[in-house]
């Protein structure tokens, strides 16, 4: 009888080795880890394009950008009204447009006001020294916060039209302003022309309306235009 008990397990093992009997599933013991549990499931890897899109698109301001300020005036030696036009071609900064239509907090565009120039050096000196106080406040900054009317994600090429809102600081005074923007994107290159809408008054940023003997009147309205050339990085 004892020999029969010994042979039965051996016979069962032989059948299993020949494929004649199914092996019972192993019983898990406390604290044991199976091979399936320790093998991590394969994970999908995002493409660089998808990763960049999720993080937003970052553009760096390039040469060719400029800020243009226009104010209507009546000169003493002229019959008709004309525009005083001052331009600064020293514009720098970068901005990151997020998929939500907001901007990364690091986004900022800077205009060097000491570089403003018109067709009159006398006017330039007065505006920079008295109106803008550029010795104390040499820069104007714009921090974009959101866009409206822009299709997202941003198309790789084509014409765009949208409204851009952000905070502008001039002479240490910060105000919310909105630009009407028309832009063209061609791959990594972005060009745009933005107009402040509506125009703002001198007092909006703590400036005093200029009064000089050679100018009979100056309209209390500043029209700001920014022509931006930028490249995606």
Its sign, for the CA torsion 215, 218, 223, 224, is positive
pTM of the predicted model as reported, rounded to 2 decimal places: 0.76
String of DSSP letters for 4-51: HHHHHHHHHHHHHHTTSSPPPPPPP-TT---HHHHSPPP-PPPPHHHH
Phi, psi of 85 (to 5 degrees): -120, 120
Q: What is the pLDDT of residue 78?
A: 84
Q: What is the pLDDT of residue 39?
A: 52
Q: What is the pLDDT of residue 86?
A: 98
Superfamily of domain 51-232, CATH level 4: Lipid/polyisoprenoid-binding, YceI-like (2.40.128.110)
CA distances (Å), origin 205, targets 145, 174, 178: 19, 7, 15
Q: What is the pLDDT of residue 211?
A: 87
The span from the first CA to the last CA of the chain, in angstroms, equals 85
Angstrom distance (rounded) from CA 39 to CA 50: 27
CA distances (Å), origin 216, targets 79, 96, 190, 208, 219: 11, 45, 41, 16, 10
Cite the DSSP H helix spans in the chain.
Answer: 2-17, 35-38, 48-55, 121-126
Strands 66-75 and 57-61: unpaired
Q: Would you give per-residue pLDDT tens digits along the chain (233 residues)?
A: 444 444 444 344 343 444 444 445 445 444 444 444 455 555 444 444 444 556 799 999 999 999 999 999 998 888 899 999 999 999 999 999 999 999 999 999 999 999 999 999 999 999 999 999 999 999 999 999 999 999 888 999 999 999 999 999 999 999 999 999 999 999 999 999 999 999 999 999 999 999 888 889 999 999 999 999 999 99
Angstrom distance (rounded) from CA 228 to CA 132: 22
Angstrom distance (rounded) from CA 78 to CA 89: 29
Listed by start position, the domains of the chain span 51-232
């Amino acid at each position: 009888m004892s020999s029969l008990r010994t042979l039965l397990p051996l016979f069962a093992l032989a059948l299993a080795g020949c494929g004649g009997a199914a092996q019972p599933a192993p019983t898990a013991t406390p604290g044991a880890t199976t091979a399936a549990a320790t093998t991590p499931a394969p994970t999908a890897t995002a493409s660089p394009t998808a990763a960049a899109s999720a993080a937003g698109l970052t553009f760096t301001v390039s040469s060719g950008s400029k800020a243009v300020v226009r104010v209507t005036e009546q000169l003493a030696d002229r019959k008709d009204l004309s525009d005083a036009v001052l331009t600064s071609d020293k514009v720098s900064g970068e901005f990151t447009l997020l998929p939500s239509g907001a901007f990364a907090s690091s986004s900022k565009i800077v205009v060097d006001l000491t570089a403003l120039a018109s067709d009159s050096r006398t006017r330039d000196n007065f505006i920079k020294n008295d109106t803008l106080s550029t010795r104390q406040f040499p820069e104007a900054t714009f921090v974009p916060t959101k866009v409206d009317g822009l299709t997202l994600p941003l198309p790789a090429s084509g014409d765009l039209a949208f409204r851009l809102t952000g905070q502008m600081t001039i002479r240490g005074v910060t105000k919310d302003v909105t630009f009407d923007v028309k832009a063209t994107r061609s791959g990594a290159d972005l060009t745009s022309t933005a107009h402040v809408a509506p125009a703002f008054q001198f007092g909006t940023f703590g400036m005093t309306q200029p009064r000089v003997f050679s100018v009979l009147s100056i309209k209390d309205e500043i029209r700001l235009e920014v022509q931006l050339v930028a490249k995606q990085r």
